[in-house]
Amino acid sequence: MRVFERVVRPVLFRRDAEEAHEWTLRQLSRLPLPKRLYAVRNPVRVFGIDFPNPVGLAAGMDKNGIALRAWPALGFGFVEVGTVTWHAQAGNERPRMFRFPEREAIVNRMGFNNQGASMLAQRLAGFRSEIPLGISLGKSKVTPLDRAVEDYRASFEVLREHGDYFAVNVSSPNTPGLRSLQDKSFLDGILAALTGQGKPILVKIAPDLTDSAIGDVLAVCADRGVAGVIATNTTIAHDGPTGGLSGAPLTKRALEVVTFVRKESDVPIIGVGGIMTPDDAMRMFDAGASLIQLYTGFVYHGPDLVRRCARGFAGAG
């Protein structure tokens, strides 16, 4: 058993899941980690961006960008901050994050808790990331669906100069009505406002969509010149507490969605969901992902998993 799993994880798992998350971010924002502590160089170029390796940190881990200097040292080839919304919001009531160690899973119903796009822009001003920086954009809870385009546009405009790419998150299960923005008419309006602005725009989709609905999303993405698809978000297809499930139970479905997207489209894919081992990562690459992201796998297995996944990449996808 590796050091993280033997020593660090038991200490963290004595705390409430969200408390441990926040404590870890605070420590990572303060610790002077050696730049190449876990760093792996295995470069790949995707949607016009050079990545030192294809393993990224998924959105949700560092929503407000407070530990950005730590992630390269922990082996990540890119990081996606957010999901951020135009209006700062507290998110849903606690408890809202639950671990299931026996299944290597997490359920969360965070609700896009974040300090807002303007605060993130202030934090990123003057910051130069060592690795590509993606920014995940979501709709503010207070914004009605018929004003969603304006909400996404406002966040994008204030953050445009700070992100290497932008992810349109229309697939979180924890903001009422958000997933309806994956419907063609809503999604087309959002993408029309963001594409063509000099930044790669990606769309993050839910694993719970039917093949037909995924096909509709891909058609809109093609029409609007979207740079890539992130597959997938968390799933509501589970029998645990209300919220989105991530981790090992999502492995099979996330791989199925990536396989389907690759079959139906040649758009670059970031594969995410249930990547708990290097073998899971290689299956994602073999299915057609050009990049992958970790979240729950990182929570359970630490930075060694990042390094092992990055080392295993050999130009797949």
Element (H, E) at 98: strand 97-100
235: which 2 tokens?
């799933």
Q: Is pLDDT at 315 greater than 70 in this prediction?
A: no
Band (pLDDT 50/70/90 cuts) for residue 85 is very high
Collect all residues with Cβ–Cβ distance below 8 Å to 142 and sequence separation of at least 6. 87, 89
Condensed to tens digits (0 to 9), the pLDDT of residues 139-169 reads 999 999 899 999 999 999 999 999 999 999 8
pLDDT > 70 fraction of the chain, expressed in percent and rounded? 94
Look at the block and give the residue holding tokens 């698809």.
229
The domains of the chain, with CATH numbers, are 3-312 (3.20.20.70)
Q: Known catalytic residue: 136?
A: no
Condensed to tens digits (0 to 9), the pLDDT of residues 193-221 reads 999 999 999 999 999 999 998 999 999 99
Per DSSP, the residues of 164-204 read: SEEEEE---TTSTTGGGGGSHHHHHHHHHHHTTSSS-EEEE
In order of 126, 215, 300, the CA distances from 122 in angstroms are: 9, 38, 32
Collect all residues with Cβ–Cβ distance below 8 Å to 121 and sequence separation of at least 6. 158, 159, 162
Condensed to tens digits (0 to 9), the pLDDT of residues 38-84 reads 778 999 999 999 999 999 999 999 999 999 999 999 999 999 999 99
144, with CB counted inside 10 A (0-12, 13-18, 19+), is exposed
Band (pLDDT 50/70/90 cuts) for residue 34 is confident
- Which one of the listed residues 129, 136, 140, 172 is annotated catalytic? 172
Rounded Cα gap, residues 138 and 119, in angstroms = 15
What does the angle CA 239 – CA 233 – CA 75 come to, to the nearest 5 degrees? Answer: 115
